């Protein structure tokens, strides 16, 4: 139990460091861009797979 408490303490300290240093804002912006790219790729793959199997 003490091991997990120390693990969560370290994770919380790392999250606090990134949250208070401004890196979180940059990471959030990057994540938004990646999300849009992956949604577009998902929609394109759905459209291409609706045509049926290739001969």
User: Domain ranges in the chain?
Assistant: 25-55
* pLDDT tens column, 20-50: 777 777 777 888 888 889 889 888 888 887 7
- The three-state DSSP-derived secondary structure of the chain is CHHHHHHHHHHHHHHHHHHHHCHHHHHHHHHHHHHHHHHHHHHHHHHHHCCCCCC
Q: Are 10 and 1 in contact (CB under 8 A)?
A: no
Which pLDDT score, from 0 to 100, does residue 55 have? Answer: 64
**52 pLDDT exceeds 70?**
no
This prediction has a pTM of: 0.54
């Amino acid at each position: 139990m003490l091991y997990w408490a120390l693990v969560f303490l370290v994770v919380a300290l790392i999250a606090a460091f990134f949250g208070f240093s401004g890196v979180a804002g940059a990471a959030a912006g990057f994540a938004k861009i990646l999300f849009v790219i992956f949604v577009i790729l998902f929609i394109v793959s759905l459209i291409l797979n609706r045509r049926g199997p290739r001969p």
